[in-house]
Structure 1
Amino acid sequence: MTPRPAREHPPRQASQRKVLSVLVGGQVLGGVGMGATLSLGSLLAAQLSGSPAWAGTAATMSTLGAAVAAIPLSRLALARGRRVSLSTGALIACLGAATAISSAALGIFPLLLLGLMLLGSGSAVNLQARFAATDLATTGTRARDLSVVVWSTTVGAVLGPNLFGPGEAVGAALGLPPMTGAFAFSVAGQLAAAAVYLTGLRPDPLLQSLRAGARTEAPEPPQTGRQILRRNNRARYAVAVVALSHATMVALMSMTPIHLREHGASLTIVGFTISLHIAGMYALSPVFGWFADRVGRLPVVLAGQATLLASLLIAGLYSDSQAGVTVSLILLGLGWSASVVAGSAMVAESVAGQDRPALQGISDLSMNAAGALGGALAGPVLTAAGYSGLGFLAMVLVAIVLAWTGLRARADRTATPAVR
């Protein structure tokens, strides 16, 4: 047996542990202030525009920014590696937070919209980081490794709402305009995250993976994301699972605060309900990742869709009950988590290494676009059919995924799949 060269890269397992530690650290740092800034963005939009009707543009511009950044960042990752791509996205988000502070100081509403759009790049980094966790992962640990990075988002989600007070204190000390202190936290957090990615992702996991693939596979020119979706049924299914599950979640979740307030719920109840929903989205993601590696991706997708279906059914039948709505939102988060973790693992493994960044970019673009569309359509549906009608109508999206999953399972049974 030929001994292994002494100067070769560390074993893949050791490299992967380091990559996961760096990604989790970057996610935690990048998430500091993000939750608070999105909420404060709505308040600033209403203040600078002079009308509360413009408050919703904060979330819209942030989502649009994440969608716009998805494909350029994926192309940058393929050309220069995850280290450059993730740090660039974090620096763009840092610039967005600084621009938002400037907009408040100058009283320029369009400048705020630009800042929020740039800040959306931080969300694009969050999404790409979960795929970066799969670059060196093995088939048996891919979903679990991905889910650990998804789980780390919990830290920022929990910290965010609690940074309003400290942010204002820091902002006042720095002489910043009111309601912009949390943006200063985002500036610092994104700068720190960029530094972590730049220094920690050495050697770069994607470039390592591509080099390993070049040694073991016949080199082929990389495809674009659209080419992959046209030619690869498994990739098309995986992207659809992630996008439709996200649209289902955003549609119901975005209208829940309005529905609860209309039925007399206090802001405390509304905040508590959304907090439980966010916990459902992220806290158990490693559990779903472990199951996806143990029993296969499709069973976990089915479990996630069944949980989403139960959530929507409860929302439809018990919309007048605060307890019912809370249970529905918890299940909504759990169903989203199971579906997105398993679906994202399928996205990562449905193509060869050189094609993964392109497919991952179009998956993130589709996810953000579907979420934005789901949130935009949910308002008119709520007005026309009520919260119950919204819950029942959203079942159509779940039905599409369930039907497609049945077809996918049948196709897998007639072939010899590389991955369950």
Structure 2
Amino acid sequence: MSRKILMTTSFSAATPSTQDNPSQRRILTVLFLSQILSGAGLAAGITVGALLAQDMLGTTGLAGLPSALYTAGSAIAAVAVGRLSQSRGRRPGLAAGYLAGALGSAGVVLAAVIDSPVLLFAALFVYGAGTATNLQARYAGADLATPARRGRALSTVLVATTLGGLVGPNLASPMGALADGLGIPHLAGPFLLAGTAYGTAALVLAFWLRPDPLLLARELAGSAPAPTAAAGPASRARRSGSVRFGAVVMVLTQLVMVAIMTMTPVHMQHHGHGTAASGLVIAIHVAAMYLPSPVTGMLVDRFGTLAIAASSGVTLLAAGILAAVAPAESVPLLALALALLGLGWNFGLVAGTTIITDTVPLASRAKTQGLVDVSIAIAGATGGLASGIVTAATSYAFLAVSGGVLALTIVFFLPAKGNRKGTSE
């Protein structure tokens, strides 16, 4: 408890009114704009990635491979972006990640044009850097926030992705038509949008994310009075336990969300729905992933991370059950199931991110955040790869229900006692 008070007092002394700081407002504005762009790039690829692989390979069993590849690529990118941010700041780290996502998108388009599955898989791996960077941007929004407002600060960045996420999937059909006109395979069209969006986001951050939030936070913290007592073994053990719990919450929610989300467009296509219908469902899903973020942030700040983490497991279970029992011809019910899937993921991400940000010191924050996001990316890759295999061997309904049950195990990892940071009082 004493360490928590010392850390909070120290940071507050350095930044007594961070939430009203002009630098913080500018940083949030720039991050908001870049997240709109990156959200469009992320959602566009999600919408048709599995369908493109299925079309090129001629099998459903490997339809989950694109999701597995770009989430595996995001694991490597999470380490790279985290380390670059740790040494140079958030601006070069995030800009480099989005630039890699743009190059991967261009590679997917080229692979579709020359009908090369090998190039497709390699490009999807690189494309995953955009996904990793999109997630890591949330940490930048919280770097300068006071502890009592971190949930809301990171949620402000997350919600911006909603706008791009709504636009991206609904442009799948028009971008496919544009691709047809350019002599590019129809399903590669959304990756034209993804490449443009990621590239523009990289430029926005490279030129306008000034001052760098992480570097400024370090400067402010360095000018604060030093703590009067060092953290003891018990305090370090609580911090380590909090990091593990925050990571477990985000890993489980990512795995379940990616698995069910990946196979939903394939499930819909098998029952006669086109890209417009699946794009609408994915757009609603992505909106539910990010749009509730401000409310979720306030709930985390008000009721604590543990309550919201538990809510994520319950919500994902409800999503899995509804997806399983919804008639395949019912787009509204599938959309509702995917909305619940996105909401449960949002609860887990905001709660888990707040735990990590509150717990890890500034000196090692970006590096640790990158390593945690590696675990999240690996979980996503596992969910994406397993989703096609499980669906082919059983059914979409079995995948959805089993995913929901897995998500509910978050409840069993809850600490017996905790505060909003997930640590013991």
TM normalised by structure 2 equals 0.82
Between the aligned partners of 1:81 and 1:32, the Cα distance in structure 2 is: 25
Give 1:346's aligned amino acid: I
CA shift at 1:85, angstroms?
0.4
Between the aligned partners of 2:54 and 2:323, the Cα distance in structure 1 is: 30
The residue number in structure 1 matching 2:81 is 73
The residue number in structure 2 matching 1:373 is 382
1:313–1:360 CA distance, 2 compared to 1 (3 A): same
Of structures 1 and 2, the one scoring higher in RCO (CA 8 A, sep 6+) is 2
Counterpart among 15, 32, 36 of residue 28 in structure 1: 36
CA shift at 1:133, angstroms?
0.8
Q: Does 1:405 align with 2:414?
A: yes
1:392–1:118 CA distance, 2 compared to 1 (3 A): closer
Amino-acid identity (%): 36
Q: Does 1:266 align with 2:285?
A: no
CA shift at 1:41, angstroms?
4.2
CA shift at 1:62, angstroms?
1.5
Bigger Cα displacement from structure 2, 252-261 vs 109-118 = 252-261
SS in 1 for 2:414: helix
Between the aligned partners of 1:44 and 1:331, the Cα distance in structure 2 is: 26
- Render the CA deviation track for 1:98-138: whole Å, top value 9, x for unaligned: 22333344443322222222111111110110111111011
CA shift at 1:76, angstroms?
0.2
CA shift at 1:14, angstroms?
1.9
Counterpart among 17, 20, 27 of residue 19 in structure 1: 27
CA shift at 1:309, angstroms?
3.0
The alignment's C-alpha RMSD in Å is 3.3
The residue number in structure 2 matching 1:118 is 126
SS in 1 for 2:418: helix
Between the aligned partners of 1:411 and 1:21, the Cα distance in structure 2 is: 27
TM normalised by structure 1 equals 0.83
Give 1:347's aligned amino acid: I
Bigger Cα displacement from structure 2, 54-63 vs 356-365 = 54-63
Matches for 1:26-175 after TM superposition, within 5 Å: 26-46=34-54, 49=57, 55-168=63-176, 170-171=178-179, 175=182
Q: Does 1:333 align with 2:307?
A: no
Q: Does 1:246 align with 2:247?
A: no
1:246–1:229 CA distance, 2 compared to 1 (3 A): farther
Between the aligned partners of 1:299 and 1:370, the Cα distance in structure 2 is: 23
1:395–1:122 CA distance, 2 compared to 1 (3 A): closer
Task: Provide the aligned length of Structure 1 versus Structure 2.
Answer: 398
Bigger Cα displacement from structure 2, 182-191 vs 73-82 = 182-191
The question of whether the paired residues in 2 share the 8 Å contact of 1:140 and 1:294 is answered with: no
Give 1:178's aligned amino acid: P
- Render the CA deviation track for 1:283-326: whole Å, top value 9, x for unaligned: 2121111111122222222222222233344456x355746655
Bigger Cα displacement from structure 2, 306-315 vs 122-131 = 306-315
The residue number in structure 1 matching 2:195 is 187
Between the aligned partners of 1:254 and 1:77, the Cα distance in structure 2 is: 30
The residue number in structure 2 matching 1:349 is 358
Give 1:198's aligned amino acid: A
The question of whether the paired residues in 2 share the 8 Å contact of 1:42 and 1:57 is answered with: yes
Which residues of structure 2 form unaligned runs of 5+? 1-13, 228-235
1:366–1:214 CA distance, 2 compared to 1 (3 A): same
1:51–1:414 CA distance, 2 compared to 1 (3 A): closer
Which residues of structure 1 form unaligned runs of 5+? 1-7, 220-227
Give 1:103's aligned amino acid: A
Bigger Cα displacement from structure 2, 9-18 vs 205-214 = 9-18
Give 1:109's aligned amino acid: P
Between the aligned partners of 2:56 and 2:398, the Cα distance in structure 1 is: 34
Between the aligned partners of 1:385 and 1:138, the Cα distance in structure 2 is: 48
CA shift at 1:391, angstroms?
4.3
1:384–1:126 CA distance, 2 compared to 1 (3 A): same
Between the aligned partners of 2:78 and 2:355, the Cα distance in structure 1 is: 18
1:71–1:375 CA distance, 2 compared to 1 (3 A): same
Between the aligned partners of 1:43 and 1:399, the Cα distance in structure 2 is: 29
CA shift at 1:50, angstroms?
6.4
- Render the CA deviation track for 1:16-73: whole Å, top value 9, x for unaligned: 1111111111111233344334444445445555666654432222112111111111
Counterpart among 161, 173, 178 of residue 185 in structure 2: 178
Between the aligned partners of 1:32 and 1:388, the Cα distance in structure 2 is: 29
